[in-house]
C-alpha cells in the first residue's frame, strides 16, 4: 500500500487543517471492498430465498421425519387465534408472526420463512435465487483469492493486517477506547480492526466458500470428503447460515463504528483512498476510527 501524505492547505477550515491527509486505501483495496459489498448484499438476499425452500437447519449428514437433529426451524401454524408464524431454536418455539414464518398484511398473510422484502427475488422463486446466488458467490470467491495473492505479494497482509506483539499489548486500551467511543485517527489499523478484519477475511469468508462448495452436488462428486470433513451436508448448511449471520453482525457493527468515528472521513478513505489523521500534537497512537 502506498504511503503518500498530503499536508492540509492553509485555506482549509481550521478543524480540517489540524491533521494531514494520508493515502490509506489503494485502488485495488477500494475495488475489492465494493465488489465484496455488492456481492454479499446479493448473496444474503438470494441466500434467504434459497433457505425459504426448506426453512430448517440440521446437524449431521441427513434430515427427515425419522431424524431429530434440527437446530432451527421457521414455519407457520395455527392456534386458537388463527395462523401464526414461529421460529423454533433448539426445541424452543417463539412466536414471530409478522417477521418470520408468517408475514404480510392482515388480509394477505404469506406463509414463508423470511418475508418478501428480505429476499431476491421477492416472490418464491428458487431457480432465480440460485442463479443470482451462484453468480455472486463466484464473484466473491474470485476477488477474494486475487486479493489474497496480491496482498501477499505487495506486503499488505504483513504490514497492515497481521497483529504484532505491540498490537496485542494495546488490546485492552483499544477495547476501553471503543467502549467510550474515543477514536484515534492514524494511517494504521488498530488492534480491534486487525482482529475483526482478519476474522472476516481469513475465517468467515473462506468458511462461506468452503461450506458452499460442500453443499454442491457436483463438488460432492469431485471432492466427496469435503462434506464429511464438515460433519455432513446438513452441518455444512448450518455452518454456512451461522457464518452469514456473523457477517451481518459484523456489517452492523462496522456501520455503527463508521458513524461514530466520523462518516465523511471514513467514506472518503474507501472512495478516494485519502484519510485525514489526527493532529500531530494530539494522541495519535496507532489507532483509527473504523473503515
Mean pLDDT within 62-70: 72
Q: Is pLDDT of 93 > 80?
A: yes
Q: Is pLDDT of 23 > 90?
A: no
Distance CA 200, CA 204 (A): 5
**Which pLDDT does position 15 carry in this prediction?**
42
Q: What's the pLDDT tens digit per position in 128-183?
A: 999 999 999 999 999 999 999 988 888 888 888 888 898 899 899 988 888 888 88
**Which pLDDT does position 11 carry in this prediction?**
37
Least confident of 37-41, 189-193, 280-284: 280-284
How high does pLDDT run on average in the chain? 85
**Which pLDDT does position 75 carry in this prediction?**
94
7 — pLDDT class (breaks 50, 70, 90): very low
Percent of the chain at pLDDT exceeding 90: 50
**Which pLDDT does position 65 carry in this prediction?**
60
Distance CA 29, CA 253 (A): 20
Least confident of 37-51, 60-74, 111-125, 192-206: 60-74
Q: Is pLDDT of 14 > 80?
A: no
Mean pLDDT within 110-118: 94
Q: Is pLDDT of 277 > 90?
A: no
Could you tell me the residue ranges of all domains in the chain? 5-55+122-276, 63-113
SS3 212: helix
**Which pLDDT does position 66 carry in this prediction?**
63
Contacts of 141-146 with C-beta under 8 Å, sequence gap 24+, read 141/209, 143/32, 143/35, 143/36, 143/39, 144/32, 144/36, 144/201, 144/205, 144/206, 144/209, 146/32
Cell 404480510, located at residue = 104
Q: What's the pLDDT tens digit per position in 244-265?
A: 999 999 999 999 988 988 889 8
5-55+122-276 fold = Fumarate Reductase Cytochrome B subunit (1.20.950)
Amino acid at each position: 500500500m502506498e504511503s503518500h501524505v498530503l499536508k492540509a492547505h492553509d485555506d482549509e477550515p481550521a478543524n480540517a487543517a489540524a491533521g494531514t491527509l494520508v493515502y490509506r486505501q489503494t485502488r485495488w483495496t477500494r475495488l475489492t471492498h465494493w465488489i465484496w459489498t455488492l456481492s454479499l448484499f446479493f448473496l444474503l438476499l438470494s441466500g434467504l430465498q434459497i433457505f425459504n425452500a426448506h426453512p430448517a437447519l440440521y446437524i449431521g449428514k441427513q434430515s427427515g421425519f425419522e431424524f431429530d437433529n434440527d437446530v432451527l426451524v421457521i414455519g407457520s401454524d395455527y392456534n386458537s387465534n388463527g395462523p401464526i408464524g414461529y421460529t423454533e431454536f433448539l426445541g424452543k418455539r417463539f412466536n414471530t408472526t409478522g417477521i418470520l414464518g408468517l408475514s404480510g398484511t392482515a388480509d394477505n398473510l404469506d406463509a414463508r420463512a423470511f418475508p418478501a422484502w428480505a429476499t431476491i427475488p421477492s416472490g418464491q422463486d428458487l431457480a432465480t435465487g440460485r442463479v443470482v446466488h451462484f453468480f455472486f458467490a463466484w464473484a466473491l470467491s474470485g476477488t477474494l483469492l486475487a486479493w489474497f495473492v496480491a496482498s501477499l505479494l505487495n506486503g499488505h497482509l504483513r504490514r497492515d493486517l497481521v497483529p504484532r506483539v505491540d498490537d496485542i499489548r494495546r488490546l485492552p486500551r483499544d477495547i476501553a477506547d471503543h467502549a467510550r467511543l474515543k477514536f484515534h485517527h492514524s494511517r494504521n489499523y488498530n488492534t480491534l480492526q486487525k482482529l475483526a478484519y482478519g476474522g472476516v477475511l481469513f475465517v468467515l469468508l473462506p468458511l462461506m466458500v468452503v461450506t458452499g462448495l460442500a453443499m454442491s452436488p457436483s463438488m460432492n462428486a469431485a471432492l466427496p470428503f469435503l462434506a464429511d470433513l464438515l460433519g455432513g451436508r446438513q452441518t455444512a448448511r448450518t455452518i454456512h447460515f451461522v457464518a452469514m449471520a456473523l457477517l451481518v453482525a459484523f456489517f452492523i457493527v462496522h456501520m455503527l463504528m463508521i458513524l461514530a468515528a466520523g462518516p465523511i472521513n471514513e467514506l472518503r478513505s474507501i472512495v478516494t483512498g485519502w484519510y485525514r489523521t489526527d493532529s500531530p500534537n494530539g494522541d495519535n497512537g496507532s489507532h483509527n476510527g473504523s473503515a
